[in-house]
Amino acid sequence: MRYDIKENYLKIHLIKTTYKTLLGRPADSDGLKNYLNAIANKSLAESAEFLNSSLIHSDEFYCFHEIQNVI
Q: Determine the distance from the C-alpha atom of residue 61 to the mean position of all C-alpha atoms in its chain, rounded to a whole number.
A: 12
Domain edges within the chain? 2-70
Whether the predicted model's global pTM rises above the 0.85 cut: yes
- pLDDT string in tens for the chain (71-residue length): 455 889 999 999 999 999 999 999 999 999 999 999 999 999 999 999 999 999 999 999 999 888 777 65
Helices (H), the chain: 2-23, 29-38, 44-56, 59-70
d(CA 71, CA 12): 31
pLDDT for residue 68: 74
pLDDT for residue 1: 45
Q: Phi-psi region for residue 16, left (φ > 0), alpha (ψ -120 to 50) or beta?
A: alpha
